[in-house]
Structure 1
Amino acid sequence: MEKTYTLRPSFSPNGSNYTIPYDKDLTDEQLPVVKSQGGPSLVIAGAGSGKTRTITYRVAYLVESGVPLHNILLVTFTNKAAREMKFRVEGLLRRDLKGLWAGTYHHIGNLILRKHAKKLGYDKNFTILDRADSKDLFDKSIKEAGIDTKTRKFPKGDVLQDVYSYIANTLQPFSEVIQNKYPHLFEFQAEILPVFRKYEEAKLAQNLMDFDDLQTKWLYLLQNHPEVLAEYSQKFEHILVDEYQDTNLIQSQIIDLLASTHRNLMVVGDDSQSIYSFRGAEFRNIIDFPKRYPNCEIYKLELNHRSTPEILEFANDSISNAVERFEKILRPVRKRGVTPALASFQDVYKQASFVAQRVLELHDEGIPLSEMAVIYRSHYHCLELQMELTRRRIPHEVRSGMRLFEEAHIKDILAYLKVFHNPVDSLSWLRILKLIPGVGQKTAEKIVKLAKNSAEPLNEITKEFVSSNVSRGSKEPFIKFQALIKVLSQMINNPSIMMSTIVENGYADYLRMTYPNGGMRIDEIEELSNYAKEYDIEGFLSTLALLGGASAEEIAQTPQEKQKESVVLTTVHQAKGLEWKIVFVIWLAEGRFPSYLTFNNPKELEEERRLFYVASTRSKDQLYLTYPIVYHSREGEIVLKASRFIKEISEHRYEKWLVEDEKPVFKRDDNDNFTISGKEDDAISWDDYGEFKESAVQSKKETGIRKDKFFWEK
């Protein structure tokens, strides 16, 4: 009987196996992290401090120190990050990394679960459900639970999927989650639980797992099968975790279990950038790491390679007000530049005009559109800006969601207006009729045919005999629809009030039951409603149609064009980890950023502060901070104040800009004829992106106040 025993090089920093010049390639902060001798360690990596570089060099150092690839586990939050890190390590070592365990929690969980599927009652060839398939299975489970969704409102599969996933990722009790996060579903509690059971039964019976299972069942496997835990905790001699501030409780527990044997665990993250609690991330994972590992080493990466000193001073000032954090001060590598600018505006339209005009100026100065970004708290905050950029034919890419004109709820609400403006618009009639519970394509077509054969379709569709064409179960909601049509016909010249009335009479409930982000969609319609106040129904629909046409045909025609020459519009959450030369952070008004929904929740308010910090640290060269003073809501004018996050910062950290409309210049010639114009030497052409030409903007500094004036040719 023979046994092979392999000797590998000792883990010695002074050995002769090192080919990478670590001392030369790394900063004084990064080097100790890379050469750490093991044990638990926490790396607080500030924004722009070279986190990815540090992790990749750490992996390379472990390999050169003799640690076999299959004994190293690198966990990232995205597949892209894992691929990038592996590629970089391969470049450093000049060798293939086959055998290295690297990937997301879902990727690693999938590998382990397939090997041990039998222990959970699954076959190893189980199918992983994507979000669309999971939603379909929830819809099927609703039917199998005997719930009638045709004649009454009940949350759709998308919404239940969101609830289920949040519970799975936070390990919170069902009733607690409903009460605190989904109060609008409170009345359905007793019916939702049986749906969840049907969903679980269907997955097991059909050998299916969803993305949440790849984590929850992985944790269950480690907790309930000691032999599995022993196998992997012994296997992974060194574990590295990226973006640790974004981990949820399940992920944290999995990592702690895997590190329980060797305890060579290095977690890397930034507590000041923990912004994903809405999807289950637990801030306390990183904050309490030293409590769970009392003897851990704490390293700090504070040297920022991205931003100018002025931007970093602003960002440091903002996060210094956080109630609980690891102390750190970002230090610049770059030379001094431009002071961040703060500007307030009469309303959201002036704010949008400023951003659009400044984008044109900066592009004229040679800055590519792709190096500019507009960042905001919520997707609906960009509505007026989308309108303005589209009107000026400035290419832009909306990363926070679909373009305004492509979103289903916007199409729904506009379909209502269209049938009043053009009562024989069959497509719009079909769209709104199919929103009625129990009314499908055939029934809708039958009703539309009746209406079209009448001289007055609007009156015809509200007649009592029309309701006989719908099923018994759909009769009550159809009669409510007829009543709504009658009400709307009395306000046909006020599209703003029409939209608000539609939302208040059932459509808001429909959105909440249909979409996980139903509340945000309601907010978007309210923004559009405010925009419509200046129009009658014909003017409003015509304006949107023209803007929509330009958006589709002229603004970003190809993915390549979009990527190369487009201003980026994005929420803070989707901007995390990215950088641009120029960044505008808009809607910095109290109640919007931070959101008024967080005012009574200290924990959520602290996350809002971290959101602001993330937004501020995306900029490399210039940072613009803006907010409107007056907001026109359904209740009337609301006067807004600057965000508390601005007020907390020392005034010498930013420059206040006063923005005014430039008054026309009157010129008189020798014959006493007057002409009106802007300043000729201020002309800015935009021939590359359409016919629009702008005349304007001369900025001048007076006692620290900068004045930007607007005037454009009609």
Structure 2
Amino acid sequence: MSPTLENPQDLCEAIGVPFSEEQLRAITAPLSPAVIIAGAGTGKTTVMAARVVWLVGTGQVRPEQVLGLTFTRKAAQELAGRVADALAAAGVLSGDDSEGAEVIQTYDSFAARLVAEFGLRLGLDQDPVMLTGASRFRLAARAVAAATGPFRSISRLSHLSIPERVLDLDAQLQSHLVDPEQVVELTRRARQGFEQAPLYRGNRMKDVAAALAALDERLELLQLVADYQELKMSLGLVEYADQLRRAVQLATTVPEVAATLRRRFRVVLLDEYQDTSAAQAVLLRALFGDGFPVTAVGDPHQAIYGWRGAAANNIIDFPRLFPLPDGSDSPRLTLRTNRRSGQRILDVGNRLARDLTGVAGADGVQLVAPEGTPAGRVDAARFDTLAEELDSLAERIIAEHESGTPWPDIAVLVRRNATLAQVYEVLRDRDVPTEIVGLGGLLHLPEVVPVVATLRILDDVSANPAVATLLTSPRWRIGLRDLEVLGRRARELAGERGTPNEVSGLSELLADTVTDADPGEVVSLLDAVADPGEARLSEEGRARLAQFSAELADLRRHVAEPVVDLVRRVIGRLGLEVELLSRPGGDSSQLSRFLAAVSDYVDVDGDGSLGGFLAYLDAEDRHGVGLEQAVPSDADSVKLLTMHRAKGLEWHTVFVPALADKTFPSQDRGGIWPTRAQALPSPLRGDAPGIPQLGEYTKKGMDAYKAETRAEHRRSEDRLAYVAATRAKQLLVASGHIWTPGLKRPHELSDYFVAIAEAAGVDTQDLDVSAENPEPRSEAVAPWPPSPDGAELAARRDAAAHVTRAAELLAAGASPRALEEWVWESGTAEAGSAQRLAEWDADASLLVDQHRRRRARDVGVPEGLSATALMAMGRDPEEFAARLLRPMPRHPSTGASLGTRFHDWVQRRFATSAAAFEELAAVPRGAEPPGFKTLVAAFEAGQFAHRQPLGVEVPFLLHWGGHVLRGRIDAVHEWDGDRFDHLVIDWKTSDRAADPLQLAVYRQAWARARGLDPGRVGAAFYHVRSDEIAFVEAPPSLIDEALATAGRAPGGSQSP
């Protein structure tokens, strides 16, 4: 390739960008190792793309000899797009057919690709199934549930927390290249040291005792980690951390790997290098150390992912670890000119990072704006209460929009997910279009809270806080006195038959019951709900509790369903969607977004637990654990997100509320490794030289160590504040409040609020706030639970009466004309509505006509299909594709209702004796479907009534030809026939034609789940009414044909 660029000016003209001197120094640096410290908003992606153009345009490399690595797929796509666009704009490509494209990947994908290409050299599986995101929690929960123990130490922990602890410790082992045996050895050595620690008055000090307990917990967690790793291996599953460790093994033991890559690539670009882990640094150094042309780009001031394994000192140590060919340190280049924000905003960022300068792992740069850039605006305000602060925030957002700032150019950044829900509610009340970015913030919304609380109760009968959350909700409205009685009853059932005088009051008794976090304690509010005995409950309270208990019993029968199905069932049973749509504005979008997020919790093998899903939600609530960083949509709305999620993004206007001491900067609650069982001991970490270390195994040593870790935590908070402030282009607004209910002294000002206030010229000593807590000091007297508004209550009762009457008409088989007449007679439609109804009819007819006449569209066959959907797709691919494009509600059929009710009845009939009593209790229902009693009588008289099945309503998930088929097998029986050992059954409750496709799926799913030869699994339809068995062949070719037919049909195409 002949050079097309001769000097930097040629580059600027070719790309059309007037690069600054500091940018050109980085772009045109020699083809040798270097690190670029790029401050926030300094255009690092543009510089990396321009460097590729320079190297290609000057003939130093060909495009396909460029390797670029970054963290997320979104970032990789953006970098690849920038590079391709810059190369095209510069006109430096030769057009030669042999000229390839640059390789831009994520760090994880790069490691996986190494294993796929070179793994055979070490006997590694080259094509394992990748385990990511929520699926990790599902598998970890399964490993924990299957563990035999005994576990004497971790048994005191909440079972929901154990899968996350296992995943946390496993990830640290892989990220720091540590073997479990090393942790066991150091933990035992530490235990010996703490056992010899000085005593206080003959007793162990509290901190030392806590350390000994945590060390024992870590040894038991390591057993579970080994079980989890073994389960992954047995299923052919790996995580990216596993692949990274295998890639390191290849790079450090097979010299040919590095030699091959060095021949293939001439230059390597490492993006966001401050976020790399110790293992990633070892891999990259083994492959591209010793003078190879590597350019690392990053900002130590934005190293905010230490909690997930990032080693901030990697970028500081780069010059030493990636030396020049002569062995000297590689150069350090800087990008200081921020092209995003005004100087006033940059002054805030520099102030927030001031204490980081000179600290190991935090050697960043001072940001400056180009000359002539608008200075931007900074504002700050402090309020008495959070309510006042959020009211002002909403009004200010509306004012900014009315002054010309589009909604998507406004963001609210917070430290905690819980704050997002409070901000969202205030903005929603003012009709401000708002989007919560990420799952964590959704969990605190009032429409989502009862769903999660219900799931917690279904998973754990001792989830007392969740029980209290539901009972005090607007739906159940259990009064305080009844709750206190319930708390006493719970303790009585647990064997603690004390009197109220043993505690300072009934409220304290209830609080103690609800907040008790020791899972070894058997006090359960749910026990009291199910068995209130002679407890002195109010008549209304007792009735509501009975209804609450019956509803949970009904839901508990469906716990084995796929999580998405269970969540939908809970939402429907709670009536949340209907409730939301009945309100003014009728917004159920956030509930839909929560359901979409739940759908990401994917089965890996058809076997999982609700506990694993709840552990995933807890982890998402804390900091978000998905592989990909959630990003805002293009919707016309204000964006609400945590500061961690805001990294790499920018907005014209940024609000940072709830700035108070101990909220932000937050307190360090992570603990230290001697007292935190899931933490990898710091001496074993790959970044050990750059982090605090425990000096001695005593209380004095731990106190000193805690002080050092608190200082390190504060530096991590400083980096997060720097990230938040530098997201703003032209307006940064900070706010805080000083009073919360019950405080006698106000919150101290957040240091970050002070920094922003001073930049805004606000005198923090002269803020107009109340000297006393404006929240009531004494108990307020008010009716509780609050009664609904009279008019609203009357409207709801009226609507309920109409629904009841409509249900009666439908059950009686009323004709459409009779139903229409009832609508007018009931008063639900006024005479003036006739014109509107006619317009709706015309619109509906037009839509139907358009639907019939529209041109065919290719619709990809979904990767995940239920067995029922597969049959529908096989019968009519075009109709199935249409439903995928535009899902529409369908009128429930009597036959479908009868079949569903019968399946429920059979499942309950064959429930095992181990099932909870409430699961077998009669479930209150409306009128049974016509023919149900006759069907039950026929089954009881038939041949399967006295056969004990191997399973009923067995959930499965079958991987087949690039698709995942899911569903529930009606029943499986052992069979004595010569042809097969097991028989899968499909109950037939109607005369509709039987499709063997569904049984074909059942056969394969059961055979794979049990490790059987599919030929030994038979299939049959059982016609309940006639007591006849119809055996069918149901070969696997039926599945292949159905998928192939869908791919060939007009409007259908196979998913890639």
Q: Distance in 2 between matches of 1:248 and 1:617?
A: 24
User: How does the TM-score come out when normalised to structure 2?
Assistant: 0.48
Change (3 A) 1:603 1:438: closer
Alpha carbons 2:660, 2:737 under 8 Å: kept? yes
Pairwise CA distance, 1:217:
1.2
Pairwise CA distance, 1:412:
7.0
Q: Structure 1, residues 333-359: CA drift from partner, whole Å, max 9, x if none? A: 353344411211101111111111111
Residue 161 of structure 1 corresponds to 167
Change (3 A) 1:16 1:596: closer
Residue 373 of structure 1 corresponds to 411
3-state SS in 1 of match to 2:722: helix
Residue 47 of structure 1 corresponds to 40
Q: Structure 1, residues 273-309: CA drift from partner, whole Å, max 9, x if none? A: 1111011111111122233334322221111111112
3-state SS in 2 of match to 1:367: coil
The answer on 1:572 being equivalent to 2:681 is no
Q: Structure 1, residues 573-609: CA drift from partner, whole Å, max 9, x if none? A: 1001111111111222121111122793222211111
The percentage of counterpart residues that share the same residue type is 26
The answer on 1:136 being equivalent to 2:128 is no
Q: How does 1:181-192 map to 2 (within 5 A)?
A: 187-192=216-221
Residue 28 of structure 2 corresponds to 35
Q: Which runs of 5+ in 2 are unaligned?
A: 191-206, 465-480, 523-573, 594-630, 670-705, 771-1056
Amino acid at match of 2:645: Q
Residue 590 of structure 1 corresponds to 661
Residue 452 of structure 1 corresponds to none
3-state SS in 2 of match to 1:627: strand
Q: Distance in 1 between matches of 2:284 and 2:632?
A: 42
Residue 331 of structure 1 corresponds to 368
Pairwise CA distance, 1:113:
0.6
Change (3 A) 1:235 1:408: farther
Alpha carbons 2:301, 2:364 under 8 Å: kept? no
Pairwise CA distance, 1:653:
5.0
Amino acid at match of 2:57: E
Q: Structure 1, residues 127-172: CA drift from partner, whole Å, max 9, x if none? A: 1122333333323333443148999754443442133113322446
Q: Distance in 2 between matches of 1:271 and 1:209?
A: 31
Q: Distance in 1 between matches of 2:749 and 2:65?
A: 52
Residue 81 of structure 1 corresponds to 75
Amino acid at match of 1:410: V
Residue 384 of structure 1 corresponds to 422
Residue 220 of structure 1 corresponds to 249
Change (3 A) 1:382 1:137: closer
Task: Identify which range, 200-209 or 218-227, moves more after superposition.
Answer: 200-209
User: How does the TM-score come out when normalised to structure 1?
Assistant: 0.70
**Which of structures 1 and 2 has the larger relative contact order (alpha carbons within 8 angstroms, sep 6+)?**
1
Task: Identify which range, 278-287 or 330-339, moves more after superposition.
Answer: 330-339
Q: Distance in 2 between matches of 1:326 and 1:551?
A: 53
Residue 974 of structure 2 corresponds to none
Alpha carbons 2:4, 2:58 under 8 Å: kept? yes
Change (3 A) 1:544 1:80: closer
Change (3 A) 1:482 1:568: farther
Q: Distance in 1 between matches of 2:146 and 2:588?
A: 46
The answer on 1:302 being equivalent to 2:333 is no
Q: 1:291 aligns with which of 289, 298, 320?
A: 320
Residue 762 of structure 2 corresponds to 655
Pairwise CA distance, 1:459:
12
Amino acid at match of 2:85: G
Residue 288 of structure 2 corresponds to 259
Alpha carbons 1:122, 1:207 under 8 Å: kept? no
Q: 1:59 aligns with which of 6, 29, 52?
A: 52
Alpha carbons 2:344, 2:759 under 8 Å: kept? no
Q: Distance in 2 between matches of 1:551 and 1:156?
A: 42
Change (3 A) 1:29 1:113: same
3-state SS in 2 of match to 1:122: coil
3-state SS in 1 of match to 2:668: helix
Change (3 A) 1:638 1:291: farther
Q: Distance in 1 between matches of 2:387 and 2:41?
A: 33
Change (3 A) 1:26 1:41: same
Alpha carbons 1:236, 1:259 under 8 Å: kept? no
Q: Distance in 2 between matches of 1:603 and 1:191?
A: 29
Residue 532 of structure 1 corresponds to none
Pairwise CA distance, 1:224:
1.9
Q: Structure 1, residues 218-241: CA drift from partner, whole Å, max 9, x if none? A: 111111222223322443321110
Q: How does 1:461-610 map to 2 (within 5 A)?
A: 479-480=493-494, 502-506=514-518, 553-554=586-587, 563-597=634-668, 600=707, 601-610=710-719
Alpha carbons 2:115, 2:126 under 8 Å: kept? yes
Alpha carbons 1:393, 1:555 under 8 Å: kept? no
Amino acid at match of 1:28: E
Pairwise CA distance, 1:407:
8.5
Change (3 A) 1:660 1:300: same
Alpha carbons 1:393, 1:550 under 8 Å: kept? no
Change (3 A) 1:132 1:242: same
3-state SS in 1 of match to 2:389: helix
3-state SS in 1 of match to 2:460: coil
Q: Distance in 2 between matches of 1:160 and 1:408?
A: 31
Alpha carbons 2:414, 2:420 under 8 Å: kept? yes
Task: Identify which range, 273-282 or 380-389, moves more after superposition.
Answer: 380-389
Q: Distance in 1 between matches of 2:433 and 2:187?
A: 41
Q: Distance in 1 between matches of 2:259 and 2:752?
A: 48
Q: 2:731 aligns with which of 614, 622, 635?
A: 622
Q: Distance in 2 between matches of 1:352 and 1:151?
A: 42
Q: Distance in 2 between matches of 1:547 and 1:569?
A: 21
Change (3 A) 1:584 1:15: closer
Q: 2:311 aligns with which of 282, 285, 296?
A: 282
3-state SS in 1 of match to 2:734: strand
Q: Structure 1, residues 181-239: CA drift from partner, whole Å, max 9, x if none? A: x9896553232222222232333344322121121111111112222233224433211
Residue 435 of structure 1 corresponds to 460
Alpha carbons 1:46, 1:301 under 8 Å: kept? yes
Residue 100 of structure 1 corresponds to 102
Change (3 A) 1:10 1:141: same
Q: Distance in 2 between matches of 1:399 and 1:243?
A: 22
Amino acid at match of 1:554: D
Q: Structure 1, residues 494-537: CA drift from partner, whole Å, max 9, x if none? A: 8x996785233558999xxxxxxxxxxxxxxxxxxxxxxxxxxx
Change (3 A) 1:546 1:289: same
Pairwise CA distance, 1:649:
7.0
3-state SS in 2 of match to 1:340: strand
Pairwise CA distance, 1:41:
0.8
The answer on 1:644 being equivalent to 2:751 is yes
Q: Distance in 2 between matches of 1:231 and 1:584?
A: 50
Change (3 A) 1:312 1:457: closer
Change (3 A) 1:659 1:379: farther
Residue 477 of structure 2 corresponds to none
Amino acid at match of 2:124: Y
Residue 471 of structure 1 corresponds to none
Q: Distance in 2 between matches of 1:575 and 1:128?
A: 27
Alpha carbons 1:629, 1:640 under 8 Å: kept? yes
Alpha carbons 2:456, 2:463 under 8 Å: kept? no
Q: Quick check: which one's strand share is greater?
A: 1
Q: Distance in 1 between matches of 2:516 and 2:143?
A: 30
Q: Which runs of 5+ in 1 are unaligned?
A: 1-7, 416-427, 440-455, 468-476, 511-540, 662-714
| Total equivalences in the alignment | 576
